[in-house]
Amino acid sequence: MRTGLASQKVMVLAGGPDREREVSLNSGKNIAEALKLAGYDVRLRDITPDDLSALNEFDQWGGDVIFPILHGPWGEGGHLQHILDERGDTYVGCASPAAGLCMDKHRTKMVLEQNNLPTPASEILSVGQPVTLDLPVVIKPICDGSSFDLYICKTSQEIDRALGKIHERHSKILVEQFIQGHELTVGIIGTPGYGRDGYHALPVINIVPAVEFYDYDAKYDRDDTQYRIGAEQISDIPQDVLEKVQWCALQAFSELGCRHMARVDVMLDAQLNPWILEVNTLPGFTSHSLLPMAAHHNGLTLPELCDRLVRMALGV
């Protein structure tokens, strides 16, 4: 399958210093292989704040596009993107302002609220401050991914234990009202000439973990997590509700200033009301990852998806 621009040189950047490093390296390997199948000249390189030599190699190579696929605060949250913006590089994914905004769950929720998009009630706590939201609540870092240090607390004792653990790593944390119901996610990608500004929502995925919640193991290691994709598989949610979830995800993508791709995580409560949790601007590309899964369900192979993203970065 050769759909890409054969003369274009793409450097895939993966790795990074954050806790999702291994996931990033896995994603980078898959993207590099897909782009080669699409016909691109591809190099896959590791990058960290202490080793930016890949960028010098990109210049010497005469590279055309950078495809960063790092997960976590440095590689996804705007720091790497700021370096690329200052260098004037062409790259896949959000520019640094939107990347930084979406990595910060609190700032993301503020933008959602300002634009009348539904998101669970929340508060920011420093060490020693009590939780004031009604139980149950979710306690999590303000800037992190893959459900690291995430706790669902149904009692005051569980809150005390969770705060004791999470404050070992984070001085400030986000406490959010827990929404009981369907766990959904919506991928957003670009299609030239399709919809507002060329972006559209992929089919909704309903995540059904075999454990209490969709934690790191359920996301990347376990094989018993179920993924129901699209209206034909999610028969217990009406079509108009799924369309509303897609609309909310697309609105969030737009209001947060995202580009090229993102994955929007949503909870659907018992009354079938959607609640936006967060927006991931560099979603994973592993065998368990949800944006490529939804794209494949929509008839888009991984080489075709990666080709489309590179073309969007190039503006062709």
Q: How confident is the model at residue 221 (pLDDT cuts 50, 70, 90)?
A: low
Q: Which CATH architecture has domain 102-118+180-314?
A: 2-Layer Sandwich (3.30)
What mean pLDDT comes out for the span 258-269?
Answer: 97
pTM of the model: 0.91
pLDDT of residue 146: 46
The pLDDT tens digits of the residues spanning 35-73 come to 999 999 999 999 999 999 999 999 999 999 999 999 989
Fold of 122-177: Dna Ligase; domain 1 (3.30.1490)
Percentage, residues of the chain above pLDDT 90:
81
* 128 pLDDT above the threshold of 90: no
How do beta strands 9-15 and 41-47 pair?
Answer: parallel
pLDDT of residue 19: 86
Q: Where are the domains of the chain?
A: 9-92, 102-118+180-314, 122-177
What mean pLDDT comes out for the span 265-292?
Answer: 96
Q: How confident is the model at residue 222 (pLDDT cuts 50, 70, 90)?
A: low
Cis peptide leading into 120, omega within 30 of 0? no
Run of H or E including 185: strand 182-190
Q: How far is the C-alpha of 229 from the C-alpha of 205, rounded, in Å?
A: 4
Q: How confident is the model at residue 17 (pLDDT cuts 50, 70, 90)?
A: very high
Q: How confident is the model at residue 191 (pLDDT cuts 50, 70, 90)?
A: confident
* 156 pLDDT above the threshold of 50: yes
What mean pLDDT comes out for the span 189-201?
Answer: 73
pLDDT of residue 197: 64
Fold match between 9-92 and 122-177? no
CA–CA distances in Å: residue 45 to residues 28, 52, 53, 299: 8, 10, 9, 29
CATH of region 9-92, choose from 3.30.1490.20, 3.40.50.20, 3.40.50.880, 3.90.650.10: 3.40.50.20
The pLDDT tens digits of the residues spanning 232-247 come to 999 999 999 999 999 9
pLDDT of residue 65: 98
* Main-chain phi, psi angles of 266, to 5 degrees: -135, 140
CA–CA distances in Å: residue 31 to residues 45, 95, 96, 262, 283: 12, 20, 21, 16, 12
Q: How confident is the model at residue 4 (pLDDT cuts 50, 70, 90)?
A: low
What mean pLDDT comes out for the span 157-180?
Answer: 92
